Amino acid sequence: MILQNKNYSKNQTRLHQQLKEIYRNELNGQEEVSLTVNDSVYRVDVISQDNSIACEIHRSNFDKRFSKKIQALLSIPKMYLIIVCPLVSAQKVLRMNNQTIINTSYYKKPYALYSLFDLLVRIKTPLIENRMEFRVHLISENVTKQFQGFFGRTSRRRYKTIERELNSIEDTRVFKNSKDFIKLLPANLPPNCTRKELGQALSLPKLSERSVQRLAGRMTYSLWKLGVLKRIGKRRQAYIYEYSYSKRDD
C-alpha cells in the first residue's frame, strides 16, 4: 500500500467537501489520499491518521468500479472501511438565471431511508462484519440550478445543477451487520418470503403499488448480494428468500 496526497476537491460539490471535513475531523485524518493496491491506484476521500480506517462518501449506485475499490480497500490487512451514504430527506432548490433568482422550491422526501437500496442494488461485495460499515445520513440540502434555456415543443425551461450544499444532518443510521439491515424489514414478514410478499408487507402509503413492488425487488436483491438474505428455492417463478428471526431485536 502506497499513500499519496492529491487534490481532487475542485471537481466535487460543496456537499461532498462538507462531509469530507466532518469525517476528517472525526478520524483525525487526511483528505484525498491515493492508495496503490496491487498496482492499481484508488482515490480515498478520508484516511485516519494511523491508516487503519478509510472513509468513502458515495451518493450514486455502487457500480462495478466502486465495488472494485471496496474490494481493494478490504484486501488491505486490518483496514476498516466506512461507506458514507448521504440520502436527501429535505431539499431547497434555488433556480437562477445568471445572478437573478427565478424561484425557490422546497421538497420533503418521504421514506428517504429506503432510497439506500437504489445505491445498493448494483453492489458486488458482500457485507463483511467487523471490517466495514454503511453510515447513512438523512440530510437536508440546498441545491442551486442555473437556467440553460428552453427545449422541446412545449418550450420547457431547462436547468443545470451547479452546486449542492449540506444544510443539516437530520438523522444517522449505521449498518454494521446483518441484524442492522434486517431491522429495515417489516415485523410481520414471514420467515420465508418472495419479493411480492415483501412489497405487500411494506407499509408505505405515500407510494404507489408499483413503486412499492419496485422497492421490494431492490431490497431483496441488495440484501441477497450483501449476504443478509439467502435464496432457498422458488415459488412458481419467484425466488424465496430466508433470514433468521433470531437476528431481529423484538
- Indicate if the pLDDT at residue 247 is higher than 50: no
Per-residue pLDDT averaged across 43-59, rounded?
94
As a whole number, the mean pLDDT across the chain is 90
Q: Domain coordinates of the chain in residue numbers?
A: 2-176, 184-250
- Indicate if the pLDDT at residue 135 is higher than 60: yes
How many Å apart are CA 248 and CA 188, to the nearest integer? 12
Per-residue pLDDT averaged across 102-130, rounded?
93
Cα–Cα distance list, 183 to 15, 54, 104, 200, 249 (Å): 28, 26, 37, 17, 8
Q: What does the pLDDT look like over 186-234, one tens digit per residue?
A: 988 888 999 999 999 999 999 999 999 999 999 999 999 999 999 999 9
Q: Which helix (H) or strand (E) holds 7?
A: none
Query: What pLDDT is attached to residue 150?
Result: 87
How many Å apart are CA 76 and CA 12, to the nearest integer? 26
Percent of the chain with pLDDT over 90: 74
Per-residue pLDDT averaged across 134-162, rounded?
91
CATH of domain 184-250: 1.10.10
Instruction: Kindly write down the DSSP assignment for every residue of 55-118, as one continuous string.
Output: EEE--S---HHHHHHHHHHHTSTT-EEEEEEEEEEEEEEEEEETTEEEEEEEEE-TTGGGGHHH
- Indicate if the pLDDT at residue 10 is higher than 70: no
CA 51 remoteness from chain centre: 24
- Which position has the higher pLDDT, 6 or 112? 112
38: helix, coil or strand? coil
- Indicate if the pLDDT at residue 3 is higher than 60: no
Query: What pLDDT is attached to residue 1?
Result: 55
Per-residue pLDDT averaged across 37-49, rounded?
91
Per-residue pLDDT averaged across 153-182, rounded?
92
| Weakest-pLDDT range from 9-18, 85-94, 214-223, 226-235 | 9-18
How many Å apart are CA 149 and CA 155, to the nearest integer? 9
Residue 245: left if φ>0, alpha if ψ -120 to 50, beta else—which one? alpha
- Indicate if the pLDDT at residue 249 is higher than 50: no
Query: What pLDDT is attached to residue 6?
Result: 54
The answer to whether 118 and 88 are in contact (CB under 8 A) is: no
> To 5 degrees, how large is the angle CA 119–CA 125–CA 130?
105
Per-residue pLDDT averaged across 63-77, rounded?
91
Query: What pLDDT is attached to residue 16?
Result: 94
How many Å apart are CA 55 and CA 48, to the nearest integer? 8
Confidence of residue 155 (pLDDT cuts 50, 70, 90): confident
Q: What share of the chain is helix, strand, coil (3-state, %, to 5)?
A: 30, 40, 30
The C-alpha cell of 245 is what? 428471526
- Which position has the higher pLDDT, 131 or 11? 131
